[in-house]
Amino acid sequence: MVKVGVIGAGRWGKNHIRTLSKLDCELVGIADINPNTEELAKENNILYFQDFYDMLPFVDAVTVAVPTDKHYDVVKECLIAKKHVLVEKPVTLRAQKTNELVELAEQQKCVFSVGYLYRFNPAVIKLKELLADAGQLQYITTRYVHSTNPPRRDSGAVVNLGVHLIDILNFILDKRPERVYCKTMDLFGNGLEESAMIMLDYDRFYASLEVSSCHPEKARDIWIVAENLKIACDFQEQTIQVYPISVSYDGVNKDEPYSIEIEKSEPLRDELNHFLTIVSHELNGEYTKMVNIGKEEYFTSRVCELALLSAEIKRDLDVMPIDSVQKNGKKIGTPSQENGKKNGSELTPTNGTRQSNGVSSYA
């Protein structure tokens, strides 16, 4: 049985605890710098650690639900200690940093997965199947908007919300955009965008992505307009409506719209169960073909990076390898947001070596 710990006791970390406690694993404990987390640990009859590094000797795997700007440091330490990792999206704020973690996971022979819930949403899975009969794609519009919570302070709408939509498109299309254009709005003057429109060019069709933390509606949905079918999918409600319509200058042919029956599920449960299954295979030395989407996250981070650069320089950009895109002679990104502060305390990984570059300040 996989021994797992949770790093980060915020809203989503608490969801991890709730869900993992019902799955076939040994939930060891939770780590968070906030001492009040000890009460949460007691409620769930698990161990509490103020420093996540102290928890690592007791677990095989961790889920990481700390603020985005702490992801790189926390995940790196876990991988160095040879612990399997599922980290919430986005992995980091820079694609190159994400790629470093992917390579480290491969070197350490560790599972490295990313919390993209929508790959486990039954409506998204069904939507992917429906595209086989939709005909040539013409265009896509999709939204991830809300104002139910204040905007995040560690990342803007493109990185925080847009990654979900980009990953959904990666998953259902099996195709990558060739160009990206983006317009962002920093509504409160704090250097982060609260709303954005992203345009992805796939050559023969395009996709527009609306992301906002200031929209009056809470919506996560998509319209796929194709040659034979027009499909509306609500990710939140897990519903799909299909409109059999074909349009040409010779006329419009249409049949009655119909709904697709979806067996609803809890994507977080399926995602964490999937992660545990992969880890258990690895612990048993078995070969598995199950999807490990750490590598996918590199591309998603890359598109987000280019979207933000596009908004800054006000032009569309080719989606190309990270080394090919430079800004003023330097690679794009915000390294100051990634470096974090080292606390200088000595830490002992399970492989017996000593390190002094651990990170324990997270919330």
Residue 347 pLDDT greater than 60, yes or no: no
User: How much is the average pLDDT of 223-234?
Assistant: 98
The DSSP code for 131 is G
Could you read off the pLDDT of 109-164 as tens digits, one per residue? 899 999 888 999 999 999 999 999 999 999 999 999 998 778 887 788 999 899 99
pLDDT at site 175: 87
Chain-centroid distance, C-alpha 309: 20
- Measured CA to CA in angstroms, residue 173 lies from 143, 161, 244 at distances of 17, 19, 20
Residue 266 pLDDT greater than 80, yes or no: yes
Give the pair of three-digit tokens for residue 225: 């307009």
Other Cβ atoms closer than 10 A to 289: 6
Could you read off the pLDDT of 168-218 as tens digits, one per residue? 999 999 789 999 999 999 988 888 899 999 999 999 999 999 999 999 999
Q: pTM of the prediction?
A: 0.81
List the beta bridge partners of residue 242.
Answer: 231, 258
Domains and CATH numbers, the chain: 3-116+268-294+323-339 (3.40.50.720), 122-260 (3.30.360.10)
List the beta bridge partners of residue 229.
Answer: 244
**Cβ contact 185:110 at 8 Å:** no
CA dihedral 114, 87, 106, 77 (to 10 degrees): 170
List the beta bridge partners of residue 196.
Answer: 184, 211
pLDDT class of 348 with cuts at 50, 70, 90? very low
